[in-house]
Amino acid sequence: MEANAADQQDTAFLTPKFEFNPKLGIDNPVLSLAEDQGPSDPESWKRPRFCLLSKEGGSFGFHLQQKLGSAGPVVCRVDPGTSAQRQGLRVGDRILGVNHEVVEQEDYAVVLRHIQASGPRVLLTVLAEHIHDVANHQQSDVHLCPTLGPSVRPRLCHVVRDNGGFGFSITHGHRGSFWLVLSSGGAAERAGVPPGARLLEVNGVSVEKFSHNQLSKKLSQSGKQVTLLVAGPEVEEECRKLGMPLAAPLAEGWSLPTRPRCLNLEKGPQGFGFLLKEEKGLEGRPGQFLREVDPGLPAEKAGMKAGDRLVAVAGESVEGLGHEEIVSRIRAQGSRVSLTVVDPEADRFFSMVRLSPLLFLESTGDPPSPQDTCSATLVEINDDDTTVRPVPCGSRQCLLYPGPGGGYGFRLCYVAKVPHLFISQVTLGASAARAGLQTGDVILEVNGYAVSGEKDLEKLQQLVEAEPPLCLTLAAKSQQGLEAWISPGSAEDGALASELL
């Protein structure tokens, strides 16, 4: 019941469904909402839909897959009883947008990175894959995903009470529809609340089902400061025209009390100057914390503080990753690395509003390159070395640690006439790519067990589910030889073909 209530809160401000005009065709799709669609609405397959998902038990409840020959990812599985199922996500849906980012022409790794960086809530814009393919075939340069401009988005405003209070009063219509009347020059106006704004959330809680008295009580319990999710009249109108929801993951931050920080480090003679430790953070959740920041070394000079929690490496979220995988990502950056961190105050704030701090970086563009910033150094991270077995002549070994959903970021193919198991696809930026796996590599051994063909797929799956790391012994295959192996229709997805999100 709690999960259902959370989903109802998060979808409180999804606008009513538009009527579909079949004469417009799929080149001009009219948008509707996932929660309004059911088996009795066959036209829903022809329109982009919005799915506002909440993370439960560490995932949103769906699996994403990249198909051979297709740049974009497709939903390959929706787990029953999860937020993804309740909000109408379907097998075969193509991801067009993640929050306010259009990703319909991005590759698998980019889409995955945006979803993983979204935090506790994510807004997906999706379209059935076959409809997407037909639309692209008819007019390949048309974007199917609606967008809001950077100045026409909901606002997350942090208001600090002064002698005049919070600087707004409340007017309301039916239950759950509240608008703010601002005091000229008051605290709310200074915090960026626009005139005539509709109130959507208070401290991360939807007010859709609140009575006026309940809202007043919620505000009074906030003490001297409160964080409001609001939408001005022009934002409401634009979302209504586009059929888009007034959802928190779309918000811009205004006068926030804290934000994540980007630290750009350059390794010096004594290392980077900090220790990375896995500890329990808020609500007992494991996290990666920066400790033992050495005074006077470049890490401290770059602004690192003991107790900061690491949330991204080189701009990519590390939420949900294990310690070894994060250490591997840091080391893969070489002598220059970019880290995104939050201090305890920021951690508590973004946990309260149920949004990822990565949505509110000071810079709206890509993280600055470490080469372009001040330098710093860090102490080598101590972790136990894994013994590497001798490998046959002409082969090599790779050690892999699982990603956030338990996957390693590669896919398998079996060719009966050889027979061989080989790597048919490697996800950019995933564990497999960082470990050096390449398309066409032949798998000789997994954790010391020899594998040779289709009969070993089941054994391989059992080994993959064992305690990491996964140790692969590989032999390289030339691209020319790889193409000779594969005839149309011969490739099959292996056990590692999807990523849980």
In terms of domains, do 331 and 420 share one?
A: no
Average of pLDDT values for 365-390?
Answer: 33
Residue 499: which of 38, 75, 15 has the closest Cα? 75
Whether residue 366 has pLDDT greater than 60: no
Whether residue 440 has pLDDT greater than 70: yes
pLDDT in tens, 263-288: 988 888 888 889 999 988 887 788 89
Helices (H) and strands (E) in the chain, counts: 13, 27
Helix (H, G, I), strand (E, B) or coil at 164: coil
Whether residue 3 has pLDDT greater than 80: no
- Whether 384 is covered by a domain: the verdict is no
Average of pLDDT values for 87-110?
Answer: 86
Q: What confidence category does residue 149 fall into, taking pLDDT thresholds of 50, 70 and 90? A: confident
Average of pLDDT values for 172-179?
Answer: 76
Residue 500: which of 62, 92, 76 has the closest Cα? 62
In terms of domains, do 131 and 10 share one?
A: yes
pLDDT of residue 43: 52
- Whether 149 is covered by a domain: the verdict is no
- Whether 114 is covered by a domain: the verdict is yes
- Whether 20 is covered by a domain: the verdict is yes
Between 392 and 61, the higher pLDDT residue: 61
In terms of domains, do 12 and 103 share one?
A: yes
Low-confidence winner among 354-363, 406-415, 456-465 (lowest mean pLDDT): 456-465
- Whether 305 is covered by a domain: the verdict is yes
In terms of domains, do 228 and 103 share one?
A: no
Residue 426: which of 454, 388, 398, 452 has the closest Cα? 398
In terms of domains, do 79 and 21 share one?
A: yes
Helix extents (H) in 333-456: 344-353, 431-435
Residue 421: which of 392, 397, 443 has the closest Cα? 443
In terms of domains, do 217 and 267 share one?
A: no
Q: Which of 209, 227, 254 is the last residue of a domain?
A: 254
Beta bridge partners of 11: none
**Structure pTM?**
0.65
- Whether 72 is covered by a domain: the verdict is yes
Query: In this structure, are residues 117 and 358 in contact, taking their beta carbons and an 8 Å threshold?
Result: yes
Average of pLDDT values for 147-158?
Answer: 87
Whether residue 355 has pLDDT greater than 70: yes
In terms of domains, do 283 and 223 share one?
A: no
Query: In this structure, are residues 275 and 377 in contact, taking their beta carbons and an 8 Å threshold?
Result: no
CATH number for position 83:
2.30.42.10
Alpha carbons within 13 A on the beta-carbon side of 307 = 7
Whether residue 98 has pLDDT greater than 80: yes
Q: What confidence category does residue 85 fall into, taking pLDDT thresholds of 50, 70 and 90? A: very high
DSSP sequence for 100-149: TEE-TTS-HHHHHHHHHTTTTEEEEEEEEHHHHHHHHHH-TT---S----
Query: In this structure, are residues 23 and 46 in contact, taking their beta carbons and an 8 Å threshold?
Result: no
Residues counted in the chain:
501
When divided into structural domains, the chain yields a total of 4
Q: Which residues of 432-467 are buried (b: 16+ CB within 10 A; e: fewer)?
A: bbbbebbebbbbbbbeeeebeeeebbeebeebbeee
Low-confidence winner among 154-163, 209-218, 320-329 (lowest mean pLDDT): 320-329
Q: Which of 86, 105, 138 is the last residue of a domain?
A: 138
In terms of domains, do 242 and 368 share one?
A: no
Query: In this structure, are residues 73 and 65 in contact, taking their beta carbons and an 8 Å threshold?
Result: yes
- Whether 173 is covered by a domain: the verdict is yes
Instruction: Sort 69 into a burial class: Cβ within 10 Å, 0-12 / 13-18 / 19+.
Output: exposed
Q: What confidence category does residue 457 fall into, taking pLDDT thresholds of 50, 70 and 90? A: low
In terms of domains, do 401 and 310 share one?
A: no
pLDDT of residue 308: 94
In terms of domains, do 212 and 272 share one?
A: no
Query: In this structure, are residues 420 and 456 in contact, taking their beta carbons and an 8 Å threshold?
Result: no
Q: Which of 199, 228, 254 is the last residue of a domain?
A: 254
Average pLDDT score, the chain: 75
In terms of domains, do 8 and 108 share one?
A: yes
CA–CA separation, 399 vs 408, rounded Å?
10
Percent of the chain whose predicted confidence (pLDDT) is above 90: 29
Q: In which domain, by residue range, is 309 found? A: 261-372
CA–CA separation, 346 vs 308, rounded Å?
9
Whether residue 216 has pLDDT greater than 80: yes
11: its two tokens = 């979808």
Q: What confidence category does residue 473 fall into, taking pLDDT thresholds of 50, 70 and 90? A: confident
- Whether 387 is covered by a domain: the verdict is no
Between 321 and 183, the higher pLDDT residue: 183
pLDDT in tens, 19-70: 444 443 433 333 333 333 444 455 555 678 899 999 988 889 998 887 665 6
Residue 187: which of 203, 168, 169 has the closest Cα? 168
Whether residue 368 has pLDDT greater than 50: no
Between 493 and 422, the higher pLDDT residue: 422
In terms of domains, do 219 and 294 share one?
A: no
